[in-house]
Amino acid sequence: MRRASHAASGRPVDTAAYEQYIGRYSRLFVPALLAAAEVARVLDVATGPGEAALLATSVVEPTGLVVGADISPAMLKAARARFGTESLLAVTADGQTLAFKDATFDAVLCQLGLQFFPNPARALSEFRRVLRASGRTAVCVISTPDRAPMWGILADVLSRHLPDQRPAIEW
């Protein structure tokens, strides 16, 4: 069984496939993440095409800041394309080694990305480091990839039924 995974550095991504198979479900989780985070200055780690960041901008505008960080430049390009304002600062960054000063953000969001990090504990430590003392982190994960076989199973089944879309499904 081939396991689907999140974007890796230097690996091509199909942002349309992300939206079709994963992104639209993000909208089910993001409102709860934002409510839990009590946002003002927000860092969205593993932003992908910017679903959580887009929702965060509606909470922090007009004076707030939303930074969308992702390891994939292609995902960041898709995120930038979604924003009609200058509300999103999109930066290429590894969530395990964030290039921000300590205590920079009021909130750090990571929505359906942490389970794909090689070292989730290191990433969580970075999230805490860039948070202000009263800051909040809101993380939504399914599980670690080895404990969430649905990703690989779903990719296998969809690939069998939609062979022309296999490259997009098995990203």
pLDDT of residue 143: 65
Phi, then psi, of 169 in degrees rounded to 5 = -70, -40
**Structural domain containing residue 92:** 15-169
Give residue 113's pLDDT. Answer: 87
Question: Low-confidence residues of the chain, pLDDT below 70?
Answer: 1-11, 13-15, 17-27, 29-39, 61, 84-86, 143-155, 168-171
Size (the chain), residues:
171
Q: Does some domain include residue 41?
A: yes
DSSP, residue by residue, 95-125: TTS--S-TT-EEEEEEES-GGGSS-HHHHHH
Q: Whole-model pTM?
A: 0.70
Residue 7 inside a domain? The answer is no
pLDDT reported for residue 109: 92
- The pLDDT score that the predictor gives to residue 31 is 65
Residue 164 inside a domain? The answer is yes
Note whether residue 123 is domain-resident. yes
> What is the number of domains present in the chain?
1
Distance CA 109, CA 60 (A): 14
Does residue 9 lie within any of the structural domains? no
Q: Supply the pLDDT for residue 7.
A: 56
pLDDT at position 169 is 61
Here the tokens at position 166 are: 């296999």
Residue 120 lies in a domain: yes
Task: Report the CATH number that the domain containing residue 141 is assigned in CATH.
Answer: 3.40.50.150
Q: Is residue 31 part of a domain?
A: yes
Per-residue tokens: 94: 């590894």
What is the pLDDT, as a whole number, of residue 1? 40
